[in-house]
C-alpha cells in the first residue's frame, strides 16, 4: 500500500544549526509529496510540496527534493530558528476513485533552542 516513514523525534537543535528530517515513501505510481507543519496550538498547514520526480519544493527557507531513485523526500533547512519549533509531517497523495487523498507519516517533533 501507500505509506510514508519519517525519522523519529524529537530532533533537538541549537538556533542556526542545519536541519534534516528524513522521509521515505512506498507508493504505486507517482504520488505527489508534501510536508505539513503543525505549530503549537495551531492546525496543520502545508509547508511545501512536489508533484513529480526531481521537483524541489521550497518555502520559508525549507526545501525538499522528490527523489524517485531513493523514494525519498527529505526536509532540509540551512539555519533553523526558535520559531521553527513544531511538528513536521511528511505526506503523499494516494489515488481514490479519481480523487487524491493525503496519507501522513507519524510526524517528527523539532525543538530549537536559543
Partner 1 sequence: GAGVSQSPRYKVAKRGQDVALRCDPISGHVSLFWYQQALGQGPEFLTYFQNEAQLDKSGLPSDRFFAERPEGSVSTLKIQRTQQEDSAVYLCASSADRGKGNTIYFGEGSWLTVV
Q: Which parts of this chain interact with partner 1 (CB under 8 A)?
A: 31-32, 36, 42-46, 49, 51, 89, 93, 95-107
CB of 51 to partner 1, least distance (A): 4
Q: Is residue 29 exposed (0-12), middle (13-18) or buried (19+ Cβ within 10 Å)?
A: exposed
CB of 3 to partner 1, least distance (A): 10
Residue 103 · residue 2 · CB < 8 Å: yes
**Smaller CB distance to partner 1: residue 82 or 101?**
101
CB of 5 to partner 1, least distance (A): 11
Q: What is the dihedral of CA 84, 63, 21, 49, to 10 degrees?
A: 100
C-alpha cell at 103: 496519507
**Smaller CB distance to partner 1: residue 42 or 69?**
42
**Smaller CB distance to partner 1: residue 107 or 110?**
107
Beta pairing partners, 51: none
* Euclidean distance between CA atoms 29 and 10, whole angstroms: 31
**Smaller CB distance to partner 1: residue 55 or 76?**
55
Amino acid at each position: 500500500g501507500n505509506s510514508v516513514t519519517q525519522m523519529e523525534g524529537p530532533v533537538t537543535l541549537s538556533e542556526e544549526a542545519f536541519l534534516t528530517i528524513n522521509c521515505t515513501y512506498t507508493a504505486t505510481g507517482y504520488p505527489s509529496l508534501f510536508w505539513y507543519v503543525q505549530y503549537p496550538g495551531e492546525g496543520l498547514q502545508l509547508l511545501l510540496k512536489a508533484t513529480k520526480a526531481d521537483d524541489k519544493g521550497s518555502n520559508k527557507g525549507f526545501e525538499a527534493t522528490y527523489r524517485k531513485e531513493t523514494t525519498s523526500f527529505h526536509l532540509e533547512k540551512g539555519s533553523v530558528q526558535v520559531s521553527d519549533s513544531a511538528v513536521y509531517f511528511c505526506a503523499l497523495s494516494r489515488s481514490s476513485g479519481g480523487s487524491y487523498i493525503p496519507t501522513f507519516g507519524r510526524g517528527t517533533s523539532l525543538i530549537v533552542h536559543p
